[in-house]
Amino acid sequence: MEGLIKGLIHAALGEDDRDEERREERSRSSWAQVVSGEQDNDEPSGDRRHAYGQNQGNTEKQSYGRTEEWESGGSRPQKAVHERYERNEDSGRDDYNKGHWNRNDDEENNDGWQTVGKKPPKQPHKVQMNNWNEYKRPSSEQEYSDDVEPDVNLEPSEEELADLSRACNKLWELDLNRLVPGKDYEIDCGEGKKVYQKEDMAQGSLFSWLSKDIFRKPTFSRFCSLLDNYNPHEGHKEQVTSQELQEQAAFVEEISRTAPIKYLHKYLSSKGIVSGNYQDFKRMMTSLWFDLYGRGGTSSCSSAFEHVFVGEIKDRGEQEVSGFHNWLQFYLEEAKGRVDYQGYIFPRRRGQIPDSETQVLTIQFEWNGVLKSVSSTLIGVSPEFEIALYTLCFFMGGEDNQVQLGQYPVNIKCYRLGNKIGSAFPVAES
C-alpha cells in the first residue's frame, strides 16, 4: 500500500523512479569529486602538495617501497585491481590502466560511486622487487652476470674513433638489452601541446603496460634499486650510507660486463682519456656518476646520477622539476601515482607525431604536483646504454652533440659542473 501511495504521489508530481535515481547519481558524483580532490582540473591538489612537503620535510630519505612484495605469474595481461599497488598475479605485464581513461560515464567503481567528466587517478600497482633485496648482501656474496659474449665486436673502428655520431650509433647497436615496443612495453602518447600550455592533454598514463620480465634483467633491477637512495629536494644534503656505496659499486660492476660499457672503455682508453686497466676505469665511472657535488648553493646535495636519472626539485622561487630524464624512473613513479603524464610536446617539424613505437620522446608531466614543463627521454633503452652514451659525450663532445641513434637524429645535451656531469639528456631533432 505504501509503495502504491508513493507511486501516486510521484505520478501527481510528474516524476518517476528514474528521475529519483538520476538525482541520487548526480549527488553521488558531486560528493565523489569532493572526497577525491578532483573538484577542479585547472588547480593542482593542495592536499597532494602538502603531503609531499611533509614527506620530504624530514631529514630521512624517502624509501620507495623496498619492502613491497613482488608477485610472479603468467604472460597474459590483466587489468589492475583498485587497491594500492595491487596487481593480478597471473599477469605477465605490469598493466595498471592500459593507458586509457574509461569514457563510459555510467560505469561505476568498486564502491558504486561515479566520477563524471574528470580524469581519474592512475591505478598504482606492485612492481616485482624481490631480487633487489639480494643486492643488500655483502659484496663477497654478490652474484653478477657473465661478461658479454666474446663474438660481439667491441673494437671501435677508425671511422667511429673519428666521428662521435658513429660511435654513439655503435652504442645503440650494442644495446643488447634494449626493449622492443609492442613486445616488451606499450606507451600511449596522448595528445600534443606547446611547452607553455598548462592543459592536461593525456587522458591516461604514458605507459600502458610493461613486461615484468624486464625487472629480472640484472642491470635493470640493480639500476632500480638505486632510485630510492636520494632525497629529491635540490638543496638537501645527501647522507650516503655504506649500503648505498655497495649498491653503487655493484651497479657499476654489473654494467661493466655489458657490451656498451666495454666498448666505451675501449674507445676512451684508445684516446688516452682513461686507463687501460679495467678496474681503474670502473672506479672512475663510479666517481663520475655517484660522487656528490654542490648544486643550488648547497654542498654535497647532488650527483650526476641523481640529477639525470632520478630527478630533483628546485625549491628556490617557484618549485620546478629539474633532471629526471630516465624512462624507468618515470615508469615506476607513474605506477606509484607520483607522476601525472600531461602529453607530448609538439615536434618542431609537422608530420613527426610520436606514436607507440617512438623511442625518443619529449613530454610534459607533474612529479608529486610539481611541473616539468618539458623533458626528453629515451624510451626502452638499457641503463648501461644511457650511462655509456652520456659518458662518451661528456668526454668526447661539447654541450651540443648531434648524433644518430638508429633511426633517430638526436642532440645529446651535456652540461658540465667542473669535471663532473651537471646534466645530460637527449633532444629529438626534426
Environment class of 228 (CB within 10 Å of its CB; exposed 0-12, middle 13-18, buried 19+): middle
Cell digits of residue 344: 607530448
Please choose, from the candidates 288, 274, 255, 278, the residue with its C-alpha nearest in 3D space to the C-alpha of residue 385: 255
The catalytic position among 125, 212, 325, 336 is: 325
DSSP for 260-281, please give it.
HHHHHHHHHHHTTSS-S-HHHH
| Catalytic status, residue 50 | no
Annotation marks residue 325 as catalytic: yes
- Residue 422 · residue 416 · CB < 8 Å: yes
The whole-angstrom distance between residue 4's C-alpha and the CA centroid of its chain comes to 60
Phi and psi torsions of 197, nearest 5° = -75, 140
**DSSP 8-state class, residue 430:** -
Residue with grid cell 622492443, as numbered in its chain: 180
Integer Cα distance of 152 and 146 in angstroms: 14
Q: Is 355 exposed, middle or buried (0-12, 13-18, 19+ CB in 10 A)?
A: exposed
**Residue 296 exposed, middle or buried by CB count within 10 Å (0-12, 13-18, 19+):** middle
Which of 125, 236, 372, 420 is catalytic? The answer is 372
151 Cα distance to chain centroid: 33
SS3 92: coil
140, 113 Cβ separation under 8 angstroms: no
Q: Judge contact between 357 and 411, C-beta under 8 A.
A: no
> Would you call 125 a catalytic residue per the annotation?
no
3-state secondary structure of 15: coil
Active-site annotation holder among 307, 336, 413, 420: 307
Measured distance CA(121)–CA(400) in Å, rounded = 38
Number of Cβ within 10 Å of residue 112's Cβ equals 8
Which of 269, 284, 254 lies closest to 155, judged by CA?
A: 269
Burial of 181 (0-12, 13-18, 19+ CB in 10 A): middle
Cβ count near 23 (within 10 Å)? 11
**Which residues does the annotation mark as catalytic?**
307, 325, 372
